[in-house]
Structure 1
Amino acid sequence: MKMVRLDDTLYKQIVGSMRFLCNSKPDLSYGVGLVSRFMCNPKKSHTLAAKRLLRYVQGTTHYGVFFPVKRQEAELEMVGFADSDYSGDLVEGKSTSEYFN
Protein backbone atom coordinates (compact mmCIF):
# COMPACT_ATOMS: atom_id res chain seq x y z
CA MET A 1 0.00 0.00 0.00
CA LYS A 2 1.48 3.33 -1.10
CA MET A 3 1.16 6.31 1.30
CA VAL A 4 0.15 9.56 -0.37
CA ARG A 5 2.32 12.46 0.78
CA LEU A 6 0.31 15.60 1.41
CA ASP A 7 1.58 19.08 0.78
CA ASP A 8 2.36 20.25 4.34
CA THR A 9 2.99 23.82 3.20
CA LEU A 10 -0.42 24.13 1.53
CA TYR A 11 -2.13 22.70 4.62
CA LYS A 12 -0.32 25.20 6.86
CA GLN A 13 -1.30 28.08 4.56
CA ILE A 14 -4.96 27.06 4.60
CA VAL A 15 -5.06 26.64 8.37
CA GLY A 16 -3.15 29.90 8.92
CA SER A 17 -5.62 31.78 6.73
CA MET A 18 -8.54 30.32 8.63
CA ARG A 19 -6.92 31.27 11.96
CA PHE A 20 -6.87 34.86 10.69
CA LEU A 21 -10.56 34.60 9.77
CA CYS A 22 -11.41 33.64 13.36
CA ASN A 23 -11.03 37.35 14.26
CA SER A 24 -14.21 38.19 12.36
CA LYS A 25 -15.91 34.76 12.40
CA PRO A 26 -15.74 33.36 15.96
CA ASP A 27 -17.93 30.41 14.94
CA LEU A 28 -14.87 28.97 13.16
CA SER A 29 -12.75 28.83 16.31
CA TYR A 30 -13.52 25.27 17.33
CA GLY A 31 -13.02 23.70 13.90
CA VAL A 32 -9.89 25.68 13.15
CA GLY A 33 -8.49 24.81 16.57
CA LEU A 34 -9.03 21.13 15.82
CA VAL A 35 -7.29 21.16 12.44
CA SER A 36 -4.49 23.31 13.89
CA ARG A 37 -3.46 20.45 16.16
CA PHE A 38 -2.21 18.48 13.17
CA MET A 39 -0.03 21.10 11.47
CA CYS A 40 3.17 19.06 11.93
CA ASN A 41 1.92 15.85 10.35
CA PRO A 42 -1.39 16.34 8.48
CA LYS A 43 -3.14 13.28 7.10
CA LYS A 44 -5.67 13.11 4.29
CA SER A 45 -8.54 13.23 6.79
CA HIS A 46 -7.19 16.49 8.24
CA THR A 47 -6.97 18.02 4.79
CA LEU A 48 -10.55 16.96 4.09
CA ALA A 49 -11.67 18.58 7.36
CA ALA A 50 -9.87 21.82 6.42
CA LYS A 51 -11.55 21.79 2.98
CA ARG A 52 -14.93 21.29 4.67
CA LEU A 53 -14.24 24.36 6.81
CA LEU A 54 -13.37 26.33 3.65
CA ARG A 55 -16.70 25.30 2.11
CA TYR A 56 -18.43 26.49 5.30
CA VAL A 57 -16.63 29.85 5.03
CA GLN A 58 -17.68 30.16 1.39
CA GLY A 59 -21.32 29.54 2.28
CA THR A 60 -21.39 31.99 5.20
CA THR A 61 -19.57 35.02 3.80
CA HIS A 62 -22.41 37.34 4.82
CA TYR A 63 -22.18 36.27 8.51
CA GLY A 64 -19.60 37.40 11.02
CA VAL A 65 -18.42 40.28 13.15
CA PHE A 66 -17.87 43.34 11.02
CA PHE A 67 -15.59 46.12 12.19
CA PRO A 68 -16.62 49.61 11.00
CA VAL A 69 -14.00 51.89 9.46
CA LYS A 70 -15.10 54.99 11.37
CA ARG A 71 -16.69 55.07 14.81
CA GLN A 72 -19.83 57.11 15.25
CA GLU A 73 -20.80 58.78 18.51
CA ALA A 74 -24.18 57.04 18.79
CA GLU A 75 -22.82 53.54 18.28
CA LEU A 76 -24.08 50.37 19.90
CA GLU A 77 -21.57 48.11 21.59
CA MET A 78 -21.87 44.36 21.29
CA VAL A 79 -20.22 41.95 23.70
CA GLY A 80 -20.44 38.21 23.21
CA PHE A 81 -19.22 34.92 24.58
CA ALA A 82 -19.49 31.46 23.04
CA ASP A 83 -18.58 28.09 24.49
CA SER A 84 -18.50 26.04 21.32
CA ASP A 85 -17.86 22.56 22.68
CA TYR A 86 -19.02 22.63 26.33
CA SER A 87 -15.74 21.28 27.74
CA GLY A 88 -15.44 18.61 25.09
CA ASP A 89 -11.72 17.91 25.45
CA LEU A 90 -11.83 14.65 27.38
CA VAL A 91 -8.04 14.46 27.78
CA GLU A 92 -7.34 17.83 29.41
CA GLY A 93 -10.87 18.85 30.35
CA LYS A 94 -10.51 22.24 28.67
CA SER A 95 -13.26 24.11 26.92
CA THR A 96 -12.97 25.86 23.56
CA SER A 97 -14.50 29.28 23.96
CA GLU A 98 -14.46 32.71 22.36
CA TYR A 99 -15.01 36.20 23.74
CA PHE A 100 -15.29 39.40 21.79
CA ASN A 101 -16.00 42.97 22.75
Structure 2
Amino acid sequence: MEESIDDQPVRGTRSLAEIYERRNDAELIENIKQCLFAGFEMTDLGKMVYFLGLEVKQSPYEIFICQRKYLKEILKKFQMEECRSVSTPMAAKEKLQKVDGTDVVDASMYRSLIGCLMYLTATRPDILFARGQEFNLQGFSDSDWAGSMDDMKSTSGYCFDFGSACFSWCSKKQEIVAQSTAEVEFIAATAAANQALC
Protein backbone atom coordinates (compact mmCIF):
# COMPACT_ATOMS: atom_id res chain seq x y z
CA MET A 1 0.00 0.00 0.00
CA GLU A 2 1.42 3.36 -1.02
CA GLU A 3 0.22 6.91 -0.47
CA SER A 4 1.53 10.18 -1.80
CA ILE A 5 1.96 13.40 0.14
CA ASP A 6 3.43 16.34 -1.80
CA ASP A 7 4.46 13.91 -4.56
CA GLN A 8 6.66 11.95 -2.13
CA PRO A 9 5.77 8.27 -1.82
CA VAL A 10 5.18 7.04 1.70
CA ARG A 11 5.29 3.30 2.31
CA GLY A 12 2.55 2.06 4.57
CA THR A 13 2.70 -0.96 6.83
CA ARG A 14 0.23 -3.81 6.89
CA SER A 15 0.38 -5.05 10.43
CA LEU A 16 1.59 -4.30 13.94
CA ALA A 17 4.16 -7.07 13.52
CA GLU A 18 5.67 -5.19 10.58
CA ILE A 19 5.71 -1.94 12.56
CA TYR A 20 7.45 -3.75 15.42
CA GLU A 21 10.01 -5.29 13.04
CA ARG A 22 10.75 -1.85 11.58
CA ARG A 23 10.61 0.14 14.87
CA ASN A 24 14.23 1.24 14.54
CA ASP A 25 13.93 2.04 10.82
CA ALA A 26 14.86 5.73 10.62
CA GLU A 27 13.40 6.09 7.12
CA LEU A 28 10.02 4.70 8.21
CA ILE A 29 9.95 6.97 11.27
CA GLU A 30 10.79 10.00 9.14
CA ASN A 31 8.05 9.11 6.61
CA ILE A 32 5.48 8.79 9.41
CA LYS A 33 6.57 12.17 10.84
CA GLN A 34 6.20 13.81 7.42
CA CYS A 35 2.67 12.37 7.07
CA LEU A 36 1.75 13.76 10.47
CA PHE A 37 3.34 17.17 9.76
CA ALA A 38 1.36 17.39 6.50
CA GLY A 39 -1.95 16.67 8.24
CA PHE A 40 -1.48 18.42 11.57
CA GLU A 41 0.24 21.46 13.03
CA MET A 42 2.84 19.96 15.33
CA THR A 43 6.43 20.11 16.57
CA ASP A 44 8.92 17.26 16.87
CA LEU A 45 10.30 17.34 20.42
CA GLY A 46 12.54 14.31 19.93
CA LYS A 47 12.50 11.28 22.19
CA MET A 48 10.13 11.50 25.12
CA VAL A 49 11.94 12.07 28.42
CA TYR A 50 9.11 13.25 30.71
CA PHE A 51 5.37 12.61 30.36
CA LEU A 52 2.55 13.24 32.88
CA GLY A 53 4.85 13.01 35.87
CA LEU A 54 6.74 9.98 34.59
CA GLU A 55 10.41 10.02 33.65
CA VAL A 56 11.01 8.01 30.48
CA LYS A 57 14.46 6.66 29.59
CA GLN A 58 14.76 4.95 26.23
CA SER A 59 17.40 2.67 24.81
CA PRO A 60 17.32 0.66 21.57
CA TYR A 61 15.92 -2.41 23.36
CA GLU A 62 13.94 -1.13 26.34
CA ILE A 63 11.95 1.71 27.83
CA PHE A 64 12.41 2.47 31.54
CA ILE A 65 9.71 4.47 33.36
CA CYS A 66 10.48 6.07 36.72
CA GLN A 67 8.58 8.33 39.15
CA ARG A 68 11.53 9.67 41.17
CA LYS A 69 11.14 13.26 39.93
CA TYR A 70 7.36 13.29 40.47
CA LEU A 71 7.74 11.90 43.99
CA LYS A 72 10.36 14.55 44.84
CA GLU A 73 8.02 17.25 43.48
CA ILE A 74 5.21 15.99 45.74
CA LEU A 75 7.47 16.02 48.81
CA LYS A 76 8.67 19.54 47.97
CA LYS A 77 5.14 20.84 47.25
CA PHE A 78 3.88 19.68 50.66
CA GLN A 79 7.09 20.56 52.54
CA MET A 80 7.84 16.96 53.48
CA GLU A 81 11.35 16.60 52.05
CA GLU A 82 12.83 15.86 55.48
CA CYS A 83 10.03 13.60 56.73
CA ARG A 84 10.59 10.10 58.09
CA SER A 85 8.27 7.17 57.43
CA VAL A 86 6.05 5.75 60.16
CA SER A 87 3.56 2.87 60.10
CA THR A 88 0.63 5.07 61.25
CA PRO A 89 1.18 8.72 60.26
CA MET A 90 -1.20 10.16 62.84
CA ALA A 91 -1.94 9.96 66.53
CA ALA A 92 -4.11 6.93 67.24
CA LYS A 93 -7.19 7.32 69.51
CA GLU A 94 -7.13 11.12 69.23
CA LYS A 95 -10.36 12.85 70.27
CA LEU A 96 -11.15 15.62 67.80
CA GLN A 97 -12.90 18.91 68.55
CA LYS A 98 -14.07 21.78 66.34
CA VAL A 99 -12.16 24.31 68.43
CA ASP A 100 -9.00 22.85 69.90
CA GLY A 101 -6.59 25.79 69.64
CA THR A 102 -4.90 24.67 66.39
CA ASP A 103 -4.97 26.45 63.05
CA VAL A 104 -7.66 25.54 60.54
CA VAL A 105 -6.40 23.04 57.96
CA ASP A 106 -6.44 24.06 54.29
CA ALA A 107 -8.90 21.56 52.76
CA SER A 108 -7.78 22.27 49.18
CA MET A 109 -4.17 21.41 50.08
CA TYR A 110 -5.32 18.15 51.67
CA ARG A 111 -7.36 17.25 48.57
CA SER A 112 -4.37 18.08 46.38
CA LEU A 113 -2.14 15.77 48.43
CA ILE A 114 -4.66 12.90 48.21
CA GLY A 115 -4.95 13.44 44.44
CA CYS A 116 -1.16 13.33 44.04
CA LEU A 117 -0.93 10.11 46.05
CA MET A 118 -3.77 8.50 44.08
CA TYR A 119 -2.06 9.39 40.79
CA LEU A 120 1.26 8.09 42.11
CA THR A 121 -0.23 4.68 42.89
CA ALA A 122 -2.39 4.57 39.73
CA THR A 123 0.71 4.97 37.55
CA ARG A 124 2.54 2.15 39.37
CA PRO A 125 1.09 -1.19 38.23
CA ASP A 126 3.33 -3.04 40.71
CA ILE A 127 1.65 -1.14 43.57
CA LEU A 128 -1.86 -1.06 42.12
CA PHE A 129 -1.94 -4.72 41.03
CA ALA A 130 0.44 -6.97 42.93
CA ARG A 131 1.50 -10.14 41.11
CA GLY A 132 -0.21 -13.36 42.04
CA GLN A 133 -2.94 -11.52 43.89
CA GLU A 134 -6.55 -12.56 43.73
CA PHE A 135 -9.03 -9.87 42.73
CA ASN A 136 -11.74 -10.19 45.36
CA LEU A 137 -14.21 -7.45 46.13
CA GLN A 138 -13.99 -6.66 49.85
CA GLY A 139 -15.71 -4.12 52.05
CA PHE A 140 -14.79 -2.93 55.55
CA SER A 141 -16.66 -0.74 57.99
CA ASP A 142 -15.76 0.64 61.40
CA SER A 143 -16.73 3.40 63.79
CA ASP A 144 -15.82 5.00 67.06
CA TRP A 145 -18.26 5.66 69.87
CA ALA A 146 -18.94 9.26 70.91
CA GLY A 147 -15.70 10.36 69.29
CA SER A 148 -16.72 13.99 68.89
CA MET A 149 -16.02 16.00 72.04
CA ASP A 150 -18.41 18.74 70.83
CA ASP A 151 -21.67 16.79 70.43
CA MET A 152 -20.80 13.18 71.42
CA LYS A 153 -21.68 11.91 67.93
CA SER A 154 -19.79 8.96 66.50
CA THR A 155 -17.84 8.78 63.24
CA SER A 156 -18.37 5.84 60.90
CA GLY A 157 -16.30 4.85 57.93
CA TYR A 158 -16.12 2.24 55.23
CA CYS A 159 -13.93 1.33 52.31
CA PHE A 160 -14.21 -1.10 49.41
CA ASP A 161 -11.30 -2.58 47.56
CA PHE A 162 -10.78 -4.81 44.56
CA GLY A 163 -7.49 -6.63 44.92
CA SER A 164 -5.15 -4.10 46.48
CA ALA A 165 -6.86 -1.02 45.02
CA CYS A 166 -9.28 0.90 47.22
CA PHE A 167 -11.91 2.46 44.96
CA SER A 168 -14.61 3.73 47.32
CA TRP A 169 -14.37 5.07 50.87
CA CYS A 170 -16.12 7.39 53.27
CA SER A 171 -15.61 8.77 56.76
CA LYS A 172 -18.54 10.72 58.13
CA LYS A 173 -19.97 11.85 61.44
CA GLN A 174 -23.21 10.03 62.23
CA GLU A 175 -26.38 12.14 62.28
CA ILE A 176 -27.66 10.82 65.61
CA VAL A 177 -26.11 10.26 69.03
CA ALA A 178 -25.86 6.49 69.45
CA GLN A 179 -26.70 4.99 72.83
CA SER A 180 -24.40 1.96 72.56
CA THR A 181 -21.42 0.59 70.65
CA ALA A 182 -23.75 -1.96 69.01
CA GLU A 183 -25.91 0.84 67.63
CA VAL A 184 -22.83 2.70 66.36
CA GLU A 185 -21.51 -0.42 64.59
CA PHE A 186 -24.96 -1.14 63.12
CA ILE A 187 -25.17 2.37 61.64
CA ALA A 188 -21.67 2.00 60.14
CA ALA A 189 -22.47 -1.44 58.67
CA THR A 190 -25.77 -0.13 57.24
CA ALA A 191 -23.97 2.77 55.49
CA ALA A 192 -21.41 0.32 54.03
CA ALA A 193 -24.14 -2.09 52.85
CA ASN A 194 -26.05 0.81 51.28
CA GLN A 195 -22.93 1.83 49.33
CA ALA A 196 -22.30 -1.78 48.24
CA LEU A 197 -25.82 -2.07 46.80
CA CYS A 198 -25.80 1.28 44.99
Q: Structure 1 length as normaliser, TM-score?
A: 0.33
Highest RCO, 1 vs 2 (Cα 8 Å, sep ≥ 6): 1
Q: Which has the larger radius of gyration?
A: 2
TM-score with structure 2 setting the length: 0.19
